[in-house]
């Protein structure tokens, strides 16, 4: 193979063919290649963000805080909505495809006979790009689980565990205790760990004790208070901020995510002080499409990547507090390893009409398969071959005062954003 001649799209297609399994959890292979590339340990400070839900928002909030305080920040998140390049940002900006290609060429030269998955290529490329860019703060969002996820080759200064819920049971276990143990695998000895909730499985608590971590728990060690007009206060043992602006990310859950991000940044940046004006700037500037994204108009559109029951519950609470004058249509597309019935059950009371869409991905369900897994719902169902067709149908049926909710997967929200010409 003549690696230098490949485009970014060709590199990605090659990576999907290279390894016999799309997901192959384990650190040995990716660790070996990282050592050959001299990527570890990272220079500067680093934070790793895991959890069932909330990790993308929290990672973006931490990166925004670091930028607002003058850092040169590398942010790695996954998956992407439309463009692969979304997965890496340096100081809030994506990098050109040519830089990705260069990173892949170097990884290919270093790996030798070692087989890497698509995501392992991705994680290694992110670290290479950050090294090339000279970042001094690295923010990593865990891809799947934690203990065996490729991001866990990094021994981060701070770990954040936003939540533990039922998802990816085929890989992480069938109980919250098992899933919690996998997610707690990102912890290191004597590390500061920020927990997004007091309600964590015992397996997480055991890991914290075993590693003698310094724990900062939401609602115990740091607190927040939302005011009726949307501003909020933050308080921990060292600092107090009043009348902070609402996070630019919509939804009540974002106050909790912002508080966790602020707790993590305060520890990561120590002994430097946390500046209130920089915090306010970060909260205003953070952007993350497809997470409780409300698009006003005669017909309101709501886009959210919620793909498991806890995320669907958060979405349902937000939708319940913003009832439209008219009907609600849900454009739903999901992957085969997700609990479709549980997601639908959380939304059912709010949905008058379902538009079930096929996802053209290896793990995607077609509309007929999706309907078979949906369970009993009170609204009528229409089936469409694609998300684009589903959005068109929903738009044609909606009238002023109605609401269209698009959810179920990144592979659903991404095409919807493109169809709406918003991304």
Q: Helix crossing, 97-111 with 8-18: angle to 10°?
A: 30
Query: Do residue 266 and residue 317 come from a single domain?
Result: no
Query: Do residue 204 and residue 239 come from a single domain?
Result: yes
Instruction: Count Cα atoms within 13 angstroms, Cβ side, for 127.
Output: 32
Percentage of the chain beyond pLDDT 70 is: 98
Q: Which of 134, 154, 122 is nearest to 27 (CA)?
A: 154
**Domain limit, last residue, from 285, 304, 337:** 285
What distance in Å separates the CA atoms of residue 415 and residue 181, rounded to the nearest whole number?
34
**Domain limit, last residue, from 263, 285, 307:** 285
Query: Do residue 260 and residue 305 come from a single domain?
Result: no
How many other C-beta atoms are found inside a 10 Å radius of the C-beta of residue 200?
21
Query: Do residue 261 and residue 359 come from a single domain?
Result: no
How many other C-beta atoms are found inside a 10 Å radius of the C-beta of residue 244?
24
pLDDT recorded at residue 3: 45
pLDDT recorded at residue 13: 94
Cα 83 versus chain centre, distance: 15
Query: Do residue 270 and residue 318 come from a single domain?
Result: no
**Domain limit, last residue, from 237, 264, 285:** 285
Question: How many domains is the chain partitioned into structurally?
Answer: 2
pLDDT in tens, 174-204: 899 999 999 999 999 999 999 999 999 999 9
What distance in Å separates the CA atoms of residue 240 and residue 246, rounded to the nearest whole number?
16
Query: Do residue 59 and residue 144 come from a single domain?
Result: yes
CATH number of residue 390's parent domain: 3.90.190.20
Q: Helix crossing, 176-183 with 202-211: angle to 10°?
A: 30
pLDDT recorded at residue 172: 85
Query: Do residue 224 and residue 104 come from a single domain?
Result: yes
pLDDT recorded at residue 22: 62
Three-class SS state of 45: strand
pLDDT in tens, 44-85: 999 999 999 999 999 999 999 999 999 999 999 999 999 999
- The number of helices, as runs of H, and strands, as runs of E, in the chain is 15, 17
CATH number of residue 55's parent domain: 3.40.1190.10
List the domain range (segments joined by +) for residue 217.
3-285
What's the rounded mean pLDDT across residues 275-293? 96
pLDDT recorded at residue 21: 65
Residue 51's DSSP bridge partners are none
Query: Do residue 97 and residue 136 come from a single domain?
Result: yes
What distance in Å separates the CA atoms of residue 410 and residue 67, rounded to the nearest whole number?
26
Cα 125 versus chain centre, distance: 18
What's the rounded mean pLDDT across residues 112-141? 97
**Is the bond into 41 cis (omega within 30 degrees of 0)?**
yes
CB neighbour list of residue 257: distance below 8 Å, 6 or more residues apart: 54, 57, 58, 61, 162, 196, 247, 249
Query: Do residue 220 and residue 354 come from a single domain?
Result: no
Q: 2 falls in which pLDDT band (50, 70, 90)?
A: very low
Joined together, the tokens standing for residue 230 give 């949307």
Q: Tokens 């992110």 identify what position?
A: 126
Q: What is the mean pLDDT of the chain?
A: 95
Percentage of the chain beyond pLDDT 90 is: 91
Predicted model pTM: 0.95
Query: Do residue 115 and residue 58 come from a single domain?
Result: yes
Strand order from edge to edge, sheet including 380-384: 293-295, 300-304, 403-407, 328-332, 353-357, 380-384
Where does residue 218 fall: left (phi above 0), alpha (psi -120 to 50 degrees), or beta otherwise? beta
Q: Is it the case that residue 23 has pLDDT exceeding 70?
A: no
Q: Which of 93, 46, 67, 74 is nearest to 134 (CA)?
A: 74
Q: 1 falls in which pLDDT band (50, 70, 90)?
A: very low
pLDDT in tens, 80-126: 999 999 999 999 999 999 999 999 999 999 999 999 999 999 999 99
CB neighbour list of residue 410: distance below 8 Å, 6 or more residues apart: 79, 80, 81, 290, 305, 307
Three-class SS state of 356: strand
The DSSP H or E segment spanning 303 is strand 300-304
What distance in Å separates the CA atoms of residue 151 and residue 155, rounded to the nearest whole number?
9
How many other C-beta atoms are found inside a 10 Å radius of the C-beta of residue 340?
22
Query: Do residue 199 and residue 338 come from a single domain?
Result: no
Joined together, the tokens standing for residue 45 give 């400070």
pLDDT recorded at residue 168: 73
Q: Tokens 């937000």 identify what position?
A: 318
What distance in Å separates the CA atoms of residue 303 and residue 297, rounded to the nearest whole number?
14
Instruction: Count Cα atoms within 13 angstroms, Cβ side, for 20.
Output: 1
Q: Tokens 């439209």 identify what position?
A: 324
CB neighbour list of residue 400: distance below 8 Å, 6 or more residues apart: 298, 299, 326
pLDDT recorded at residue 20: 63
Query: Do residue 220 and residue 311 come from a single domain?
Result: no
């Amino acid at each position: 193979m003549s690696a230098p001649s490949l485009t970014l799209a060709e590199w990605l297609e090659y990576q999907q063919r290279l390894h016999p399994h799309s997901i192959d959890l384990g650190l040995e292979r990716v660790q070996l290649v990282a050592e050959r590339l001299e990527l570890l340990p990272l220079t500067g400070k680093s934070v790793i963000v895991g959890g069932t839900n909330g990790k993308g928002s929290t990672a973006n909030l931490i990166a925004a805080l670091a930028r607002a305080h003058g850092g040169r920040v590398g942010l790695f998140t996954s998956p992407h909505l439309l463009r692969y390049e979304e997965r890496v940002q340096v100081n809030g900006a994506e990098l050109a495809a040519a830089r990705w290609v260069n990173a892949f060429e170097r990884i290919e030269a270093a790996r030798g006979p070692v087989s890497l998955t698509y995501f392992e290529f991705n994680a290694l490329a992110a670290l290479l790009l950050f090294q090339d860019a000279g970042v001094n703060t690295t923010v990593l969002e865990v891809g799947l689980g934690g203990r065996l996820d490729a991001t866990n080759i990094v021994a981060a200064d701070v770990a954040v565990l936003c939540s533990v819920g039922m998802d990816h049971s085929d890989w992480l276990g069938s109980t919250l205790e098992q899933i919690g143990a996998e997610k707690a695998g990102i912890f290191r000895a004597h590390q500061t760990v920020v927990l997004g909730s007091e309600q964590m499985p015992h397996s997480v608590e055991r890991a914290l004790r075993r590693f003698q971590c310094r724990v900062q728990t939401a609602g115990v060690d740091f607190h927040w208070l939302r005011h009726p007009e949307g501003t909020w206060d933050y308080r921990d043992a060292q600092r107090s901020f009043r009348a902070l602006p609402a996070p630019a990310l919509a939804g009540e859950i974002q106050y909790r995510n912002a508080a966790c991000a602020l707790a993590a940044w305060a520890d990561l940046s120590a002994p430097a002080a946390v500046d209130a004006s920089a915090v306010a700037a970060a909260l205003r500037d953070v952007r993350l499409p497809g997470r409780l994204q409300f698009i006003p108009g005669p017909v309101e559109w709501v886009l959210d990547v919620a793909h498991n029951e806890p995320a669907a519950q958060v979405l349902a609470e937000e939708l319940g507090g913003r009832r439209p004058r008219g009907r609600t249509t849900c454009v739903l597309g999901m992957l085969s390893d997700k609990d479709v019935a549980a997601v639908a059950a959380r939304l059912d009371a709010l949905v008058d009409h379902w538009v079930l869409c096929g996802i053209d991905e290896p793990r995607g369900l077609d509309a007929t398969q999706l309907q078979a897994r949906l369970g009993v719902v009170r609204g009528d169902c229409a089936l469409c071959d694609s998300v684009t067709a589903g959005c068109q149908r929903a738009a044609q049926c909606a009238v002023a005062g109605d609401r269209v909710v698009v959810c179920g997967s990144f592979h659903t929200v991404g095409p919807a954003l493109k169809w709406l010409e918003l991304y």
